[in-house]
Amino acid sequence: MRGNKNLEIYIKLFTVLALALLLAYELISGKITYYVHPRYFYGIWGAVVALLVFACSMMGELRRGRHNSNLKPYFLYLLPVVLAILFPAVEGGNGNVAIAQSSKGAESLYGSKNVADTADSKAEDSAWNTDGASTDGDVQDSNGDSAADVQDSNGDSAADIQDSNEGAADIRDSNGDSAADVQDSEEIAGDSTDESSGEAANADEKDRSLKYKNKTGDGAILISDEDFGCWYFELFDFLKDFKGKRYQYTAQVFHMEDLKANQFLAGRYVMTCCALDLMGYGVITESDKSSSLKENEWITVTGTIGEYEYKGSKVPCLKDVVIKKTKAPKEEYVYYYYY
C-alpha cells in the first residue's frame, strides 16, 4: 500500500494550482483586462485565494494510496489552462467595429421634448370643467323655475315652501363655499404640479456637454479614457449640446468600407462585461490623412463636432481635424460603467 500513489489527488492538486497561478499571473501582468471588465478583479482575486486554500486542504491526502483512480474528469478542468496558453489574449481589439446609434431617435438633435403638449391637454381639461360648471348652472336655473311654479300653485303653503327654499339656499351657500375651497386647493395643487413639471423639463434639457470641462492648451476639451464611454454615447443622444465644440482624445483608427476616402472612425474598443461583448466604436472623422493611417493605429485626434448623414440618420462627425501619432495607453480598452 505504501508504494501506491494517489494519482487522482495529484492531478486534482495540479489542476487547482495551475488555475490559481494562471489567474494570478493574468491579474499581475494586467493581461486580464483583455478578458473581463475591471469591476470583476476583486472577485477574481477572491477565486485565487479560494483555490490556494483548497489546494492546501488536499495536501494531507497525498500519502494515501488509492486503486483504480478515475483521472478522465480532471482533464476537463485543465482545459481552461490549456486554452489560455494556446490562445492568449488578442491585443488591439477583435476587429468588430460599428457606429453607434442614438437611443433617443430624432430627439438627439433637438434635446428633450417640450411640455407644450402637456399644457394643451391640461387646458382642454380646464375647458371641459368650465363647460361642466355652466351645465350645473342651467340645471340650477331650471330647478329654480320649477320651484317657483310649485309655489304659485300652492298658495296656502307658499310660506312653508319659502322657508324650505331658504334652508336649501343656506345649504347651497355652504356647499358653494366648500366647492370654492376645493377649487382653490385644486388650483394650488395644479400650480405645484406645473412647477414640478417645469423643473423636470429643465433638468431633462440640461446641456450634457457641460460635464466635460478639462481643456487642453489650444482650448479643446480633453476627453479622458475613463470618460470616453459616457461621452461617446451622450454625443449621439444629445448631439445638439456638443455641436460646434472642439474635443481631443486618444483613439484608434478604424477603416470602414462604406465611408468616403477621406473618412475613418476615430474610436476605442469598449467593453461592458467581458471579451464577448467587446466592440469598437468611433466618430466619423474627415481628414486627408485617412488613407495613410493604418488600421488600429494609435493617434491623438482633435476636432470640432459637426453633423453628418450616415445611412439615413444624422450622426456626429469630427471636422477641422488635427492628428498626431501616439503610443498605446496602458489599458487599451475602454470600460463602460454607465448602465
**Pairing status of strand 279-286 against strand 298-310:** unpaired
| φ/ψ of residue 10, rounded to 5 | -65, -45
Number of helices (H) and strands (E), helices first, in the chain? 8, 8
The pLDDT value recorded for residue 127 is 42
- Length reported for the chain: 339
Grid look-up 483608427 returns: 253
Distance set, CA 230 to CA 234, 282, 334 (Å): 6, 13, 10
Candidates 40, 26, 19; CA nearest to 271 is: 40
- Long-range CB pairs of 51-54 (<8 Å, 24+ gap) are 51/16, 51/17, 51/19, 51/20, 51/23, 52/17, 52/20, 54/16
What whole-number distance in Å separates Cα of residue 305 and Cα of residue 239? 9
Distance set, CA 93 to CA 67, 153, 215, 279, 296 (Å): 49, 99, 29, 8, 8
Q: Each residue's pLDDT tens digit in the chain (339 positions)? A: 455 567 778 888 888 898 999 999 999 988 888 888 988 999 999 999 999 999 998 887 777 665 556 667 777 777 877 887 787 766 666 667 878 766 655 444 434 333 334 344 444 444 444 444 444 444 344 344 433 343 343 444 334 434 444 544 443 444 445 444 535 545 544 554 455 444 444 444 688 889 898 888 778 999 999 999 999 999 999 999 999 999 999 999 999 998 999 999 999 999 988 888 899 999 999 999 999 999 999 999 999 999 999 988 899 999 999 999 999 998 899 998 754
Helices 116-153, 158-204: inter-axial angle, 10-degree rounding: 180
The pLDDT value recorded for residue 31 is 87
The pLDDT value recorded for residue 191 is 53
What whole-number distance in Å separates Cα of residue 169 and Cα of residue 336? 70
Candidates 325, 319, 258, 257; CA nearest to 283 is: 319
Cβ atoms within 10 Å, residue 270: 21
